[in-house]
Structure 1
Amino acid sequence: MKLFSRLGMTVLLIHSLIAPNAAAQSQLNYTTSWIGNSFGFGDGKWMQQDIQAISVGADGTVYTNAPWDESGSEIAAYRAGDKLAVAGSTHGWGAAGGDAVAVNRSYLYAAMSIGNENNALSGADYPPANQTWYGITRRTLANPANGAPFSGGIGNSANATKNSFVAVQTVAAGTDAGIRGLAATDTELYVADTYGNRIVVYDAQSMTPLRSWSVNSPGRIAIDTDATLWIISGVASGNLGILHYAADGSALAGPLTLPAGTVPADLAVTPSGQLLVADNGVSQQILVFNRNANGQLQAGTSLGTRNGLFHAVRGVTGDVRFNGITGIGVDQAGNLYVAQNGEGPRGIGSASVGQGAVLESYVYGTRVLNWRLYGLTFVDSAAFDPASPASVYTGSKRFTLDYNQPAGHEWSYAAFTLDRFNYPDDPTFHQPRGVRGEPMVRRFNGQRFLYTLDPGAHYLNVYRFDSAQGEIAIPSGLLAQNPLPGAWPAAQPTYGEWLWRASNSNGTVDASEISSNPSTGATVGNGFWWVDEPGNVWLATPLSGIREMPLQGLDSVGNPIYTYASSKMFAMPAPFTRLARLVYVAATDTMYLSGFTSAIPWDATHWKEAGPVLARYDNWSTGTPTQGYAIALPWNTQSDPQTTTVGVAVAGNYIFVAELYTNKIDVYDARNGSAVGYMTPGASVGGTSGWVDVYLGISAVQRDNGEYVVLVEDDARAKILMYRWTP
């Protein structure tokens, strides 16, 4: 490893920082738009980020449920491509949504849980210390935000759902006892107590328990036209099957025969008596079973494209190209409804919120689309393809933009770039959250590459593209500041930095492809990764300076080559005492750094911030860079909300800085550091956004017409904010 010392570095010391001037308080003339959600929130609506289950009313209203939506839309109602209601009271104060939902003509029944937030909450509304309730909330169909209380109901005494919850299981905190199936008639409610290995039947009106019987970790339930029940079993073990029972719990004929490889995810029965099985296996289809003259079920023609979104040109979106089906249903008018989240139902114990929600309606038995809704991004940012500002990548998706369209309509969902079938060893699946985010798109050697960060920027994932794999980003490498938690990959070191560099085309992390950093043997921790346009990897360590890992070319397959041996180290320059962000522009040899100084030192409560100071250094790679300027960024930790920075982007002649809590993008002239003005969310997105909650939550590009387009993570409502500004 080569070392470039600080000795001899020509640094223009600035005794006073460039402070924000009056222009910094001037709002720019720009437009606000968004990418990735069917609703911008200008009308108060947003499509939720995950759907784990649906139930369809006779009129085609689709009721959804999921354990978590960042803005509290765990349980919601949609119809004809519009959002009708948010149930609420399933978010915060110990409450969360769940994995099952059912309706009859009077009520909405939804799985949910109530905890006590690490024993911070107590009283009759909360479970005893160190325990969690898993059960069912009952709501009115007229307004799902209102509870439908019953004798013996508990919970939520301070809101409109008072005494409308029944606990099915009380378990130790941290245990997943989520209910995985519900089905209702006007008289009875059937509950899959997955944790308790039983089906429990409640009176649909009084909510008193009537009977129960044993089923091995039951999941989704469908009520047939003859009042019998079809039940997915084996949810906890993954050895899934579909069993048939009478309403009294008597076992009927043996398990339904499924094609090899089927992974049943949900069940539905059509008005004509067909049984539908959502297959989250390789087929990504809806299996159809018809009744013969003897009343027996026989396999019919499946619905949807074989292999779904992974058929033919892998990753390309389109009608009936399903991807991770979580729920299906049919209304009385003959419309099919399909919910997807890019991965399928949440596993036992998983905290996953899916890979982005899609809710679709088709004319049953056809490929005719009625409507479709998207809620595609969460804890995910976006970046432009250097080849075109009309092509935008998030961690696992590609969008195309038509800048001539009205706000919120510029984008279209083009591709899903994550392939769990061909590349199950993708590091994405083994990192915290299991979701790709924070992309950087680079083109060098005539090829396109994708680099992504986890939310805390501990890991840099490297992907290549190959036309033979369509739109899929193929795993090619991983640079880790510390070992991943858990047993994957088996060959990773137990301590210290390490990297995986693929040496073949299989996208699998082989032991022979892993190497440790021989120089440090230590965990870097909390550094920030950046990849420059030529493909060199930079790491801003908090205290040990800056490392460059120059691209060593591509191997015969097209995997980028990086080695610790070829690394270069640069000392942390004045005025910094701790580095937080780095942007290096190779074309001009310009380095932009942000972080903390002795005047405003780092503290652990601001662990993800970009810091109060940003500085530019020219002629960086010479070893004797010159500091051009240092900017005092907005920073007030005593205000409410606090004013701190979290992301930095540079494009053309401007620097764009995202504030963490205040919905504000500050703009500076990159040539001299002077403040230009600021942007905040406009009316089209309700004048608000969520926190920018990741290290690389902002990107920018200058179009040929001089317009700047800035993309910013909106954590709250499953979208990417897009600002368009022409200086």
Structure 2
Amino acid sequence: MTVKVSTRFAAVLIALGSLISIGAAAQSQLTYTTSWIGNTFGFGDGKWMQQDIQAINVAPDGTVFTNSPWDESGSEIAAYKNGDKIAVAGATHGWGAAGGDAIASNHTYVYAAMSIGNQNNRLVGADYPPAGTTWFGITRRLLSNIAVGAPFDSGIGNSANTTKNSFLRVNAIATGTDAGLRGLAATDAELYASDTYGNQIIVFDANTMRRLRSWSVAAPGRIAIDTDSSVWVMSGVGTASISVLHYSSTGAPLPGTVALPTGAVPADIAISPAGQILIADNGARQQVLVYAKTASGATQQTGVLGTLYGIFHDPKGTPGAWRFNGVTGVGFDQAGNFFVAQNGEGPRPLASATVGQGAVLESYKYPTRSLNWQLQGLTFVDAAAFDPASPNSVYTGSKRFTMDYAQPPGHEWKYAGFTLDRFDFPDDPAFHQPRGVRGEPMVRRINGQPYLFTLDPGAHYLNVYRFDAAHDEVAIPSGLLAQNPLPGSWPAGQPTYGEWMWRDTDGDGHVDASEITGNPSTGSTVGNGFWWVDAPGNVWLATPASGIREMPLQGFDSVGNPVYTYASSKMFPMPAPFSRIARIVYIAGTDTMYVSGYTSSLPWDATHWKEAGRILVRYDNWSSGTPTPVYTIELPWNASSNPQVTPVGVAVADDYVFVAELYTPKVDVYDARSGQMVGYMTPGAAVGNTTGWVDVYLGISAVRRDNGEYVVLLEDDARAKILMYRWTP
């Protein structure tokens, strides 16, 4: 490898000590509008659509109860009706508690799978399991108020809240093993539970919660009680072969085992008002299979619900009615309305911490199939960026939204595209990186064509995607630049140490060992650097302690992938006064570099590993031979306050610099020409005057519209949305 060290930089750097440091003391709140993208509710009314749904249960009156192991703001178990959110269960979030993967109800109670841990043995007492152990079981709540527990004689847990003694412990297992229940079904008399870990169906008295009987089923999952009181059970959860079995209420095998089509991956079971058996297929078909029972007791497939291939039917990646994407639950109410939950992924694998790719809950009339209502909670640990071709098109890591800024707050956006295709491109590097969720986008137009670049939450990996007409909204994996090897065995051919890159030279979107190139010169691991892609498509890497590297775009290969090489890299040494770099923004059109980080007098410490630094410096003529530092901004910083005040993200749009604070819901705005503080923005009433942390490295972006309005987008780590500010200077 040949690394070109810029002698221009080494020779000429104007001393920053002669410049005026611009502090953040005098601040005023700007006049702006607060809005949001990606969630049906903004939280101004106290509501938000949860970020994941792993299971649903539909009550006769059309109330839909949901469950998932994790929602950032505690809505693991919730209730929805007529397109509105009507309740949050609570007591399933924090202090060792988590939600689960199954839920059921009868006319009196709601039963939900959950777990109770001890937070790495920090929680002790009767409410918590002993050291090294996690409890998995069922929380029972009142149907009339799911925030209130329905205690019973053998119930335990939560002695300090309204769900005291309403938890039934089914499994006490070594922490780290997933022994959660994957199926629940209830009548007014009995509760059926799938003990997936124990390979059995357990039947409890629905009122006393005492164990009545059990029978063996290999890795059971979802359960549905038929109109004749027989039971349909998924078997083989966590394996490559899931089947649907039929039992009497006492566990005797019955005829009618469902013959599934090749490639089907059962995700849930429901019984229609007419007695049909519906099976959600989370395989490539993305449909709901409809079966009828014959006179002999056998089953016969009679139809399907949903578009073949779901959201990936042409035009690929385009959402719409009956275009399913990762079905996790189905059900009916007594009026015959059909309900379906999706999370862009399907039921989570055993021992997985995934929270899906965004939740969608829909209701349809059945069998006429018209849409009743839809709720969306589409983003989590995901930032947003504008398409340079138009501020009316916004990308997150795996979504695209179209914007109509004439609409009122919270209604400007429309879900237009799902860009992540797990069926055509299972080798998408995003699936193999931390969290398995594609986030933190940068969109660039190169020769008029769109390219998507995304970061993992820690900015260790830069993913590259191209688009073509055949794949519509779907982004095709094109390349990957890695600061270090990915943990585990994927991909085959990556080096055991050091930097490496992949380019999809054969255009199939899969990572082949022959397509991987290591850094031949240093063989080093950069570590906690920060990637930036400029408007012409050149890739910049801010290393923490070794300066800034540019990898100029070398053109495109025969299939349209951007080409980068280590040999063509240019290295710019650490600019004074920095001792560590945290973020960069390079504006190629003006040859302006914005750098934020730390100095010897304002040093970095490991407890603030994700922050953007203590100062920000603008350099003009960055690559001309005489880079000129123009001003230094002292970024907001108070590590001793509660909450702490530290910056986490930097965005530049035309005449302004926008700095997102991490723990405090605030964006500080500076004049990009002078560095002077202009004012700040905090969340308004439309979003409940609050937002979650901006919890990723590239969590803020901004654009200036033709009418002079600036639109600023931020990750909202709390309530499954993108926070949006609209400000006209």
Asked if Structure 1 and Structure 2 have the same fold, meaning a TM-score greater than 0.5 normalized by the shorter chain, the answer is yes
Amino acid of the residue matched to residue 600 of structure 1? L
Equivalent of 1:9, from 9, 12, 31?
A: 12
Equivalent of 2:357, from 332, 355, 358?
A: 355
Shift of 1:272: 1.3
Amino acid of the residue matched to residue 546 of structure 1? I
Count of aligned positions: 726
Aligned to 1:667: 669
Aligned to 2:306: 304
Shift of 1:294: 4.2
Aligned to 1:252: 254
1:586 aligns with 2:588: yes
CA distance, structure 1, for counterparts of residue 363 and residue 495 of structure 2 = 48
Shift of 1:300: 1.0
CA distance, structure 1, for counterparts of residue 281 and residue 369 of structure 2 = 18
CA deviations 1:423-472 (Å, max 9, x no partner) are 00000111110000000000012211000000000000000000111110
Aligned to 2:184: 182
Amino acid of the residue matched to residue 462 of structure 1? V
Shift of 1:556: 1.0
Aligned to 2:557: 555
CA distance, structure 2, for counterparts of residue 51 and residue 427 of structure 1 = 24
Aligned to 1:270: 272
Equivalent of 1:448, from 428, 447, 450?
A: 450
Amino acid of the residue matched to residue 177 of structure 1? A
Unpaired runs of at least 5, structure 1: none
Amino acid of the residue matched to residue 638 of structure 2? N
CA distance, structure 2, for counterparts of residue 506 and residue 255 of structure 1 = 39
Shift of 1:641: 0.6
Shift of 1:528: 0.3
Shift of 1:293: 4.3
Shift of 1:722: 0.5
1:19 aligns with 2:46: no
2:17 is paired with a residue of what secondary structure?
Answer: coil
User: Pairwise mapping of residues 602-621 of structure 1 onto structure 2 (< 5 A)?
Assistant: 602-621=604-623
User: Pairwise mapping of residues 420-431 of structure 1 onto structure 2 (< 5 A)?
Assistant: 420-431=422-433
Amino acid of the residue matched to residue 377 of structure 1? T
The 8 Å contact of residues 133 and 173 in structure 2, kept in 1 or not, is answered as: yes
CA distance, structure 1, for counterparts of residue 295 and residue 159 of structure 2 = 54
CA distance, structure 1, for counterparts of residue 366 and residue 500 of structure 2 = 51
Aligned to 1:392: 394
The 8 Å contact of residues 319 and 367 in structure 1, kept in 2 or not, is answered as: no
Aligned to 1:237: 239
CA distance, structure 2, for counterparts of residue 69 and residue 55 of structure 1 = 18
Shift of 1:522: 1.1
The 8 Å contact of residues 303 and 365 in structure 1, kept in 2 or not, is answered as: no
Shift of 1:20: 2.9
1:622 is paired with a residue of what secondary structure?
Answer: coil
CA distance, structure 2, for counterparts of residue 623 and residue 86 of structure 1 = 60
CA distance, structure 2, for counterparts of residue 235 and residue 461 of structure 1 = 32
Range moving further from structure 2, 293-302 or 363-372: 293-302
Shift of 1:10: 3.1
1:364 aligns with 2:366: yes
CA distance, structure 2, for counterparts of residue 9 and residue 469 of structure 1 = 49
1:364 is paired with a residue of what secondary structure?
Answer: coil
CA distance, structure 2, for counterparts of residue 572 and residue 358 of structure 1 = 46
The 8 Å contact of residues 533 and 539 in structure 2, kept in 1 or not, is answered as: yes
CA distance, structure 2, for counterparts of residue 94 and residue 10 of structure 1 = 53
Shift of 1:4: 1.4
The 8 Å contact of residues 191 and 201 in structure 1, kept in 2 or not, is answered as: yes
CA deviations 1:199-243 (Å, max 9, x no partner) are 011000000001111100000000001000100000022310000
CA distance, structure 2, for counterparts of residue 663 and residue 268 of structure 1 = 43
The 8 Å contact of residues 76 and 92 in structure 2, kept in 1 or not, is answered as: yes
CA distance, structure 1, for counterparts of residue 676 and residue 457 of structure 2 = 30
1:648 aligns with 2:650: yes
Aligned to 1:474: 476
1:163 aligns with 2:168: no
Aligned to 1:689: 691
Amino acid of the residue matched to residue 617 of structure 1? Y
CA distance, structure 2, for counterparts of residue 343 and residue 635 of structure 1 = 39
The 8 Å contact of residues 394 and 401 in structure 2, kept in 1 or not, is answered as: yes
Please provide the CA RMSD for this pair: 1.0
Amino acid of the residue matched to residue 58 of structure 2? V
Shift of 1:2: 1.3
The 8 Å contact of residues 460 and 478 in structure 1, kept in 2 or not, is answered as: yes
CA distance, structure 1, for counterparts of residue 140 and residue 305 of structure 2 = 32
The 8 Å contact of residues 114 and 139 in structure 2, kept in 1 or not, is answered as: yes
Amino acid of the residue matched to residue 351 of structure 2? G
The 8 Å contact of residues 706 and 726 in structure 1, kept in 2 or not, is answered as: yes
Shift of 1:623: 3.6
The 8 Å contact of residues 140 and 167 in structure 2, kept in 1 or not, is answered as: yes
1:340 aligns with 2:342: yes
Change in CA separation of 1:15 and 1:606 when aligned onto 2, cut-off 3 Å: farther
Amino acid of the residue matched to residue 679 of structure 1? M
CA distance, structure 2, for counterparts of residue 324 and residue 9 of structure 1 = 56
CA distance, structure 1, for counterparts of residue 18 and residue 689 of structure 2 = 38
CA distance, structure 2, for counterparts of residue 223 and residue 152 of structure 1 = 26
Shift of 1:521: 0.8
CA distance, structure 2, for counterparts of residue 623 and residue 720 of structure 1 = 40
2:240 is paired with a residue of what secondary structure?
Answer: coil
CA deviations 1:22-43 (Å, max 9, x no partner) are 6x42000000000000000001
1:620 is paired with a residue of what secondary structure?
Answer: coil
CA distance, structure 2, for counterparts of residue 349 and residue 254 of structure 1 = 31
1:605 is paired with a residue of what secondary structure?
Answer: helix
Shift of 1:11: 2.1
Change in CA separation of 1:675 and 1:271 when aligned onto 2, cut-off 3 Å: same
1:639 aligns with 2:624: no
Amino acid of the residue matched to residue 536 of structure 1? N
The 8 Å contact of residues 18 and 674 in structure 1, kept in 2 or not, is answered as: no
Query: TM-score with structure 1 length normalisation?
Result: 0.99
Amino acid of the residue matched to residue 222 of structure 1? A
1:621 is paired with a residue of what secondary structure?
Answer: coil
CA distance, structure 2, for counterparts of residue 522 and residue 426 of structure 1 = 24
Aligned to 1:118: 120
Range moving further from structure 2, 24-33 or 251-260: 251-260
Percentage of identical aligned residues: 72
1:32 aligns with 2:34: yes
CA deviations 1:230-271 (Å, max 9, x no partner) are 000000223100000000011112631011111000000012
Amino acid of the residue matched to residue 426 of structure 2? P
The 8 Å contact of residues 201 and 217 in structure 2, kept in 1 or not, is answered as: yes
Aligned to 1:409: 411
Amino acid of the residue matched to residue 645 of structure 2? T
CA deviations 1:528-551 (Å, max 9, x no partner) are 000000000000000010000000
Amino acid of the residue matched to residue 368 of structure 1? S
CA distance, structure 1, for counterparts of residue 677 and residue 191 of structure 2 = 62
1:83 is paired with a residue of what secondary structure?
Answer: strand
CA deviations 1:542-577 (Å, max 9, x no partner) are 001000000000111101101101100001111111
CA deviations 1:165-215 (Å, max 9, x no partner) are 011111111111111000000000000000111001100000000111110
Change in CA separation of 1:449 and 1:21 when aligned onto 2, cut-off 3 Å: closer
CA distance, structure 1, for counterparts of residue 422 and residue 615 of structure 2 = 41
CA distance, structure 1, for counterparts of residue 106 and residue 634 of structure 2 = 59
CA deviations 1:70-126 (Å, max 9, x no partner) are 000000000000000000000000000000000001000000000000000011000
User: Pairwise mapping of residues 68-83 of structure 1 onto structure 2 (< 5 A)?
Assistant: 68-83=70-85
Amino acid of the residue matched to residue 55 of structure 2? A
1:25 is paired with a residue of what secondary structure?
Answer: coil
Amino acid of the residue matched to residue 179 of structure 1? L
CA distance, structure 2, for counterparts of residue 680 and residue 368 of structure 1 = 40
Shift of 1:291: 2.6
Shift of 1:596: 0.7
Equivalent of 1:53, from 52, 55, 75?
A: 55
1:422 is paired with a residue of what secondary structure?
Answer: coil
The 8 Å contact of residues 19 and 631 in structure 2, kept in 1 or not, is answered as: no
Shift of 1:475: 0.1
Equivalent of 1:512, from 511, 514, 523?
A: 514
Shift of 1:491: 0.7
